[in-house]
Amino acid sequence: MYFVTVCTHQYKCLFGKIIDGKMILNKLGEIIQNEWIKTDNLRLNISLDEFIVMPNHFHGIIWIEYVNRRGTARRAPTVQSQNMAT
């Protein structure tokens, strides 16, 4: 499990405003939120927990499940890896 914080460049308030104690997302803030939610569906070894988009940063908790693939995820098939499959 990882706690992630991503800040905007020079802490500029790009994602919305806090009005009456509530975060109101603008278009960019909505994109941040939607892309975070999509992460769970795009990656099989990822689970999401709580998150919040703030005016100039984002906090999220992400679970990354370790899958032991013996370092072969991005390697072309070889005689060695073909023999290992049988």
Selection from 57, 5, 59 nearest residue 28 by Cα = 57
Going 24 to 12 to 14 to 5, the CA torsion angle's sign is: negative
State pLDDT tens for residues 4-17: 999 999 999 999 99
pLDDT per residue, tens digit, the chain (86 aa), is 999 999 999 999 999 999 999 999 999 999 999 999 999 888 888 999 999 999 999 999 999 987 665 555 555 566 655 555 54
Domain map of the chain by residue range? 2-85
**Cβ–Cβ under 8 Å, residues 56 and 18:** no
CA distance 23 to 10: 20
